[in-house]
Structure 1
């Protein structure tokens, strides 16, 4: 009977997925959008052709370099602040300070990661003004929620035997955590933090669209003024910066996590 139910269930699931796809296409009016895109294909080709000649003027490249350094700093400091905040919230979220502390910490983690970085950036720009400080805060707030949950899960899944052995030998709770539990979770914490840095370098480049500084702010101005050649240069800079951070993060993971 189970073998007979599985194909029937598969047909229901497939039908439901197809219905959802068709409903989404109808709701978004994608057919009309594709038709309009085909009509304006010539304009689109011309727009892309203007992107094919990036601005390589030394003065502009110097500004791009400054924006790249600012974007890198936003992602790095934002991630480091998130690591600290994630650890502080992960300890109570893993149940180490009672049920009330666990519930409060998990609520904070859910709140922080449920609000997207762009929304946090909009709020921090309103609170702290335009500039990279707002972008750093936005990344830190959202990423702390993500890392805090991952750190808490790592603590919950850590083997209890080493800490229990230390407590049985007379060690206090803090010493048992530092020498029994922490060494087991630190490699995971480091890997999670570096992975989030890879994601944050991309997000840091986008946050400038809402006034949070970096390459994103320069790209927003270039597109607003229809300077396609400068926009192409900025997009290339974002790509190069992301690839460099990915390579650096991978190298650090291999060196630190496996050490």
Structure 2
């Protein structure tokens, strides 16, 4: 009679993993204790009544042809900001990822990674507020803000992808006399290209949402329209702008999902 093979034993918990889990649990508990969260006030009858009255002001959405044309222009502007900002960030991210992956020594690696940390730690809204002073109101400042923040994110992701790729193909080409740049383009870059493109598409999705918000500080697009109509309490017009944002984000998510599916085949 044949004996069934026993399943492998589960790996034992490390002390560092247990300590990390306990630390995160303590952080969650302290967060709940330190914040004055009044959950009961959220579900009172008065809160429900005022919320319903507020939402009624958005119906029906503005549907005048002239206003829909303005929304279409704002949608194109928002899409353009996110696309150009992501493209600039991808190009800058590749340039920063090379020294950040240790190709030019440890000093260049540490310095570049520090720069990437600074770029991505500053939110897009803060970048937009800073760049509005230099570039003025409009989509140009928003595009630069998206590019600055996203280059820090993509640069770090690209650098990690380069470090985790197999060094053997590039080393083989280098031993046979191929120049470093050519060896990188023919050996390392093809290994990481699909992963880098997936990272870029994901950040493009995020930048669509961010571009819609950057208009709140005067960076153009649908966000600027939304701020304008909300400040004037033109709720029906604001509802049309928010619907345009939802449709735009849903369409971009669908396109990005299809592109990632194509790349995975």
TM exceeding 0.5: yes
Q: Deviations over 1:10-57 (max 9, x none)?
A: 99669735641432333xxx3289269753432321110111311111
Structure 1 residues 33 and 62, CA gap change in structure 2 (3 angstroms)? farther
Q: 1:152 aligns with which of 143, 146, 159?
A: 159
Q: Structure 1: 5+ residue runs without aligned partners?
A: none
Aligned equivalents of 1:31 and 1:121: distance in 2? 34
Tell me the equivalent position of 1:20.
30
Aligned-residue CA RMSD (Å): 2.5
Q: Deviations over 1:59-86 (max 9, x none)?
A: 1100000000000000000000000110
Aligned equivalents of 2:24 and 2:167: distance in 1? 44
Aligned equivalents of 1:126 and 1:71: distance in 2? 20
Tell me the equivalent position of 1:76.
83
Matched, 1:225 2:235: no
Query: Between Structure 1 and Structure 2, which shows a larger proportion of helix residues?
Result: 1
1:102-117 correspondence runs (5 A): 102-117=109-124
Moved over 6 A (4+): 8-15
Aligned equivalents of 1:35 and 1:246: distance in 2? 32
1:1-259 correspondence runs (5 A): 16=26, 19-26=29-36, 30-31=37-38, 34=41, 38-255=45-262, 257-258=263-264
SS at match of 2:35: helix
Aligned equivalents of 1:91 and 1:11: distance in 2? 34
Deviates further, 40-49 or 227-236 = 40-49
SS at match of 1:51: coil
Q: Deviations over 1:71-105 (max 9, x none)?
A: 00000000000001100100000011112211211
Aligned equivalents of 2:21 and 2:101: distance in 1? 41
Aligned equivalents of 2:206 and 2:21: distance in 1? 37
Cα contact 1:25–1:31 (8 A) shared by 2: no
Cα contact 2:41–2:47 (8 A) shared by 1: no
> How many matched pairs?
251
Aligned equivalents of 2:68 and 2:76: distance in 1? 12
Structure 1 residues 35 and 179, CA gap change in structure 2 (3 angstroms)? closer
Aligned equivalents of 1:15 and 1:119: distance in 2? 31
Aligned equivalents of 1:62 and 1:210: distance in 2? 22
SS at match of 1:171: coil
Structure 1 residues 180 and 223, CA gap change in structure 2 (3 angstroms)? same
